[in-house]
Amino acid sequence: MTTSRAERAFNYTVLAIFSVIAAFPLLGVVWLGLRVRTTDVMGIPVPTGASFGAIAEAWQRGHFATYLTNSAFVVVVVVLVAVLLSILAGYALGTMDLPGGNALFYLFLLGLMVPTEALVIPLFFDLRSFGLDNSFPGLILPQIAQSLSFGTFWMRAYFRSVPGSLIEAARMDGAGSWTTLWRVLVPVGRPAVVTMIVLIFMWTWNEFLLALVIMGSREDLRTAPLGLSFFQGQFVSDYDLLAAGAGIVALPVMVVYVFLQRHFIAGMLSGALKE
Amino acid sequence: MSATTGPRPDEESAARATTATASVREAARPSGARPPGAPRRIGYLYVLPALLVYAAFLLWPLLHGAWISLYAWDGLSVGTFVGLANYVEVFTDEELRASLGHALFLVLFYAVLPCLIGFVLVAAMSRARVRGLTFFRTVLFLPQVVAMVAVAVIWKWIYAADGPLNAVLGLVGLDRAWLGDFTFALPAIGLIGTWVEIGLVMVLFMAGVQKIPMELYDAARVDGAGPVREFLTVTLPGLRRELSVALTLTTVAALRNFDLVWNTTGGGPGTNTRVPAYQVYNQAFSEGEVGLACAIGLVIAAGVFAFNVGLTRLVEGRR
In this structure, which amino acid lies at residue B74? Answer: D
Bridge partners of A41? A44
- Residues of chain A positioned with their CB less than 8 A from the CB of B157: 28, 32, 239, 242-243
A24, A76: one domain: no
- Mean pLDDT, chain B, rounded, equals 85
Nearest CA in chain B to A107: B59
| Residue B247 neighbours by CB under 8 Å, 6+ apart | B111, B115, B307, B311, B315
- B98 band by pLDDT with thresholds 50, 70 and 90: very high
Nearest CA in chain B to A239: B157
Q: Is domain B88-316 in CATH 1.10.150.20, yes or no? A: no
Query: Residue B32 — φ and ψ, nearest 5°?
Result: -85, 10
Looking at residue B126, what is its pLDDT?
62
Looking at residue B201, what is its pLDDT?
93
Tens of pLDDT, residues B255-288: 999 999 999 999 989 999 999 999 999 999 999 9
End-to-end Cα separation, chain B, in angstroms: 55
**CA–CA dist A32, A247 (Å, integer):** 10
Looking at residue A104, what is its pLDDT?
96
- How many Cβ atoms sit within 10 Å of the Cβ of residue A165? 9
Tens of pLDDT, residues B238-247: 888 888 889 9
The distance of A157 to chain B (nearest Cα, Å) reads 15
Q: Look at residue A273 and give its three-state secondary structure.
A: coil
In this structure, which amino acid lies at residue A34? Answer: L
A156, A81: one domain: yes
A252, A180: one domain: yes
Cβ–Cβ contact A211 with B under 8 A: no
A148, A195: one domain: yes
Q: Establish whether the linkage from the previous residue to B269 is cis, with ω within 30° of 0.
A: yes
Tens of pLDDT, residues B43-89: 999 999 999 999 999 999 999 999 999 999 999 899 999 999 999 99
ipTM of predicted complex:
0.92
- Residues of chain A positioned with their CB less than 8 A from the CB of B30: none
Model confidence at B14: pLDDT above 60: no
Q: Could you tell me the sign of the dihedral formed by the alpha carbons of B53, B57, B61, B62, in that order? A: negative
A65, A43: one domain: no
**CA–CA dist B281, B170 (Å, integer):** 36
A36, A128: one domain: no
- Residues of chain A positioned with their CB less than 8 A from the CB of B203: 265, 269
CB contact under 8 A, A232 and B29: no
Percent of chain B with pLDDT strictly greater than 90:
55
What is the β-pairing status of strands B71-72 and B80-81? Answer: antiparallel
A95-133 b/e (C-beta count within 10 Å ≥ 16 → b)? bbebeebeebbebbbbbbbbbbbbbbbbbbbbbeeeebb
Residue A168 lies in a domain: yes
Q: Look at residue A114 and give its three-state secondary structure.
A: coil
Among the partner residues A104, A107, A250, nearest to B147 by beta-carbon distance: A250
Q: Containing domain of residue A10, as a range?
A: 5-51
Query: Residue B78 — φ and ψ, nearest 5°?
Result: -80, 135
CB contact at 8 A, B130 and B266: no
Looking at residue A271, what is its pLDDT?
54
**CA–CA dist B263, B256 (Å, integer):** 14
Domain layout of chain B by residue ranges: 2-50, 88-316
Q: Look at residue A41 and give its three-state secondary structure.
A: strand
Half-sphere exposure of B54 (CA within 13 A, CB side): 26
Residue A275 lies in a domain: no
CB contact under 8 A, A239 and B248: no
The distance of A221 to chain B (nearest Cα, Å) reads 10
Average pLDDT over residues A1-11: 71
The distance of A191 to chain B (nearest Cα, Å) reads 18
- Mean pLDDT, chain A, rounded, equals 90
Q: DSSP secondary-structure letter at B71?
A: E
Among the partner residues A1, A140, A250, nearest to B7 by beta-carbon distance: A140
**CA–CA dist B48, B10 (Å, integer):** 12
CB contact under 8 A, B54 and A108: yes
Domain count, chain A: 2
Taking phi over 0 as left and psi of -120 to 50 as alpha, with beta for the rest, B281 belongs to alpha
**More confident of the two residues B48 and B319:** B48
Among the partner residues B9, B281, B300, nearest to A118 by beta-carbon distance: B300
A134, A45: one domain: no
- Tell me, what CATH number does A208's domain have? 1.10.3720.10
CB contact under 8 A, A121 and B58: no
A160, A209: one domain: yes
Tens of pLDDT, residues A252-269: 999 999 999 999 988 888
Residue A28 lies in a domain: yes
Q: Which of B196, B173, B38, B214 is nearest to B114 (CA)?
A: B196
Half-sphere exposure of B98 (CA within 13 A, CB side): 10
